[in-house]
Amino acid sequence: MIKQKISSLIMCLILLIGNTAFAQKPVLPYLNPDLPMDQRVDDLIGRMTLEEKASQMVDAASDLPQLNVPKYGWWSEALHGVARAGKATIFPQAIGMAATFDSELIFEVSSAISDEGRAMYNAAVKRGFHTICQGLTFWSPNVNIFRDPRWGRGHETYGEDPFLTGTIGTAFVKGMQGDNPKYLKTSACAKHYAVHSGPEGLRHEFNAVVSDKDLYETYLPAFKALVDAHVESVMCAYNRTDDEPCCGSNRLLTRILRNDWGFTGHVVSDCGALANINGDHHFTASAEQTVALAIQNQVNLNCGDTYKAIPSAVKQGLITENEVNKVLHGLLKTRFKLGMFDPEGPNPYNTIGSEVIHSEAHKQLARKVAQKSVVLLKNNGALPIAKNCPSVFVTGPMAGNIDVLIGNYYGISDDMSTILEGIAGKIADGSKIGYRYGILPDRNNLNPMDWSTGMAADADVTIAVLGVSPMNEGEEGEAIASPDKGDRLDTRLPESQLNYLRKLRQAAGNKKIVVVLTGGSAITSPEIEGLADAILFVWYPGEQGGRAVADVLFGDANPSGRLPITFPKSINDLPAFENYSMVGRTYRYMEKEPLFPFGFGLSYTKFSYSDLKLSATKIKKGESVTASFKITNTGKISGEEVAQLYIKDLNANFRVPIQSLKGIKKVSLEPGASQEISFLITPELMSSVDETGKSQIGKGDILLTIGGASPGQRSIELGSATFLNETFTVK
């Protein structure tokens, strides 16, 4: 009995000592959230073999069970909603968001997107899912400059202007990444760095030759703006820029991005771009040489599998393991910022639940953004349509088309409204609504019998929903109806649709025809203006697009969208697609009269500008000027106006843009109401970029123009408010 008691006591002591030792077992440094983050990252790296380090530097990162590191898919998308990951709210395509000219609204959108992204990630992790498009590192936004309307991926961007792109892009990044001082909500990515905007079919091998002036004046400012906004990631592009592959460019990646701009986040290659360096650009002779080039220029993450050759590159002496450690440190730090190695409690974003995914509030926000993205290009009184209109005829291949709602890089929704459905939801009881598909999207009907034009003859208003879809324009491999690998080398409305519109016009006689155009780029068909009584350009307006377009058609929303790109009259007015010089391109350098100018858009009300005053007419270099003016709603209904500030150096001794957007103010006014607006014009805004790529302010006169579109005779002809002009002198 005594022996049993002694044995039991000894056993209890052993268990007590064991439990105490277990309870006091030190937390590994990389799992200790109280230690400095850089120390934690280095500790984790120090526990890995070289092969394990390489396995973490590709987009499908392997799990390391012995270190409690789960596998992770770095590749996720959120261009206009969480994409390719399940049910999510689909907001208007990026080009439509740009058309709002409203950075505060886009901040709301990206905040909603990142809420959904966090909620989806939280749910996936709890179920043990760690695959592609289920992570928190979102490869959005696309801030390439939409320099040419033929580029198929242009609708992923915020348009042709560097200032607008930087403004909208900055708001998007801030909403995606949140404002917590320790944790990222999600990680945003500025892509594709740099000088990347088609042709799609040549993107893996193309060399974009660009002057220093165009590089620093047009192609880089939006990226710089996002770096200043602390974007976590930058994606290097497929192409070469001035002979260097973008994902191995010492100039772009080391000298400009890291050294000049002070970027501290991680760089990811576009998918397969490292393989292109050897296989398509023939810039290196082996995968190991490519690895060395990319590592030495601090490309942290390879979307692809080229970095599997890291151990071989080290063995060959092309790079050192310390160089690999440095690049891996910058990559893993993002995962630490996202809280992936911390306990669940301290990170506030871990509590975002699935109830936010495709919530009613987000659906209403999608509808609101779509309303504000619609651009009214013409209206002779046909709009808005009365809901009790006796007879409405809806026709056209895009009226019932789901693809024209969702664009590309989209999620999936169970509550989408086509334009036809949206219109049907507005018609009053007792009114008649008819519908016919009418015409095939890009060819003449095989059956020559035509019932639809007769319906146009009988209807009081015909709404023709025409245009192009993401099947015609998009990324290489996705736009399956494009004969040019995603690009749209013919930017006119397809001839079959134009002919159909002509037949509708003839049948309708003096009755009203409203044309609703879908698309992500310019449609260069001047004939439409003469055939339609009203024209709406609605982009790819998202899941609630049909309801939003109907809101505008029937007057429940007053259009306030503005064109973020120039609509030329013809592609013959443009330089060669492969030419990356900005001469003759966009509103900033195009001297040909446009079909519809940048910044243009009508309203159901009218606005006047008056009383422009400057705080000074003569200043010294380094001083600022304030321009104040008044906007008045002179119409009969409330509306929003987008006041735009443009600047030009009149005495520069080098090439400068015809005009440059430097300020945006969106104001809502009731009928008869006025509001005083002011723009602060800083030295940075009044500077110009010379031929060497340097920003400077020369002595002489600077012209500022304020109005509701980019300045020009065409804007005045189309009905924009009168422009206010004034000059001040830099002494």
Residues belonging to the active site: 270, 473
Return the SS3 of 18.
helix
User: In this structure, are strands 607-614 and 625-633 parallel, antiparallel, or unpaired?
Assistant: antiparallel
Q: Which residue in this structure is represented by tokens 């009081």?
A: 460
Q: Which amino acid is at 691?
A: E
Radius of gyration of the chain from its Cα atoms, rounded to whole angstroms: 28
Sign of CA dihedral 660, 664, 668, 669: negative
Q: What tokens were used for 130?
A: 């760690």
- Kindly give, in sequence order, each residue whose CB lies less than 8 Å from that of residue 147, ignoring residues fewer than 6 positions away: 160, 197, 218, 580, 582, 585, 586
Provide the 8-state DSSP code for 38.
H
**Token reading at 604:** 């159901």
Measure CA 629 to chain center. Answer: 31
Q: How many helices (H) and strands (E) does the chain have?
A: 22, 24
Neighbours of 351 (CB within 10 A): 11
Angle at 233 (CA atoms; ends 230, 236), nearest 5 degrees:
130
Q: Which two tokens stand for residue 379?
A: 């209206």
Please state, in angstroms and rounded to a whole number, the distance separating the CA atoms of residues 474 and 486. Answer: 5
DSSP calls for 19-50: HHHHHTPPPPGGG-TTS-HHHHHHHHHHTS-H
Q: Are strands 674-681 and 700-707 parallel, antiparallel or unpaired?
A: unpaired
Are 229 and 174 a contacting pair, CB within 8 Å? yes
- In DSSP terms, 728 is beta-bridged to 702
Closest CA to 570 of 510, 627, 522: 522
CB 702 within 8 A of CB 730: yes
Half-sphere exposure of 196 (CA within 13 A, CB side): 31
**Alpha helix stretches (DSSP H) within 459-570:** 495-508, 527-531, 545-553
Residue 475, token pair as written in the block: 């990324």
- Nearest Cα residue to 293 out of 305, 303, 283, 304: 283
Q: How far apart are CA 195 and CA 208, in angstroms?
A: 7
What is the greatest pairwise CA distance in the chain?
Answer: 114
3-state helix, strand, coil in the chain (%, to 5): 35, 20, 45
Contact between 649 and 683 under an 8 Å Cβ cutoff? The reply is: no
Question: What are the tokens at 505?
Answer: 């016009």
Residue 213: which H helix or E strand, with range? helix 212-214
**Residue that has been written with the tokens 């990515």 in this structure:** 189
Structure letter (DSSP) for residue 269: E
